[in-house]
Amino acid sequence: MFFRIALSAGLALMLSASVLTAAAALSPEHADAFARKIAIISQQGTLVARTPNARRTPVTETELNSWFAYRARPLLPPGMTEPQITILGDGRVSGVATVDLDAVARTKRSGSLVDPWNLLGGRLPVTVTGVLHTQNGQGRFELQQASISGVPVPKTVLQELVSYYSRTSDDPRGIDIDAPFPLPAGIRQIEVGQGQAVIVQ
């Protein structure tokens, strides 16, 4: 639950130049601040039904990325490292993570000459940019662009990556990037500004 709230707070999924700028400010103190806010959000989630007034919790890009850097490693799927989120504003977010493409390609290669997985391999940065839409406890991510090591890739390739790294025993197909999803902890919406997001419960 904690990891799902953290991802929802900064979403972008999993997943730019401004990211590199933000990395300079990462610290254990910011990671601790984010962890405290997530604990508050989780606790408030149990009180939402009894609280008529909206509760607003701001979360900064630096806090989120510090948490990814200092706290998230044990929770990440094997083969995914160095996730970072850029909160661009007006609902737009950008996420980047280094991904082991060989692990995915081994399960996807068809042997066809036109199969893109014949060309993909190694550990490379995957960048995703899009718009996070949230309302009435539901979220939806509108993909605008995806790239691997700076080279644009089609949504189908990104979907295969997301499916592989988000699959669980309960959901072996993983996440559908186009599908709406419920926001955890009684979150009503996430207001995505520039450099920060506000969690509304």
Tell me how many domains the chain contains: 1
Give the H or E element holding residue 62.
Answer: helix 61-70
**Mean pLDDT score across all residues of the chain:** 84
Q: Which domain holds residue 181?
A: 2-200
Q: Which of 81-90, 110-119, 140-149, 177-186 has the lowest mean pLDDT?
A: 110-119
d(CA 66, CA 70): 6
10 pLDDT higher than 60: no
What's the pTM value of the predicted model, to 2 decimals?
A: 0.82
**Predicted local distance difference test score (pLDDT) of residue 12:** 34
- Please give, one letter per residue, the 3-state secondary structure of 84-116: EEEEEECCEEEEEEEEEHHHHHHHHCCCCCCCH
**Predicted local distance difference test score (pLDDT) of residue 105:** 85
For residues 89-98, average pLDDT:
94
Q: Mind listing the pLDDT tens digit for each residue in 52-89?
A: 788 999 999 999 999 999 999 998 889 999 999 999 99
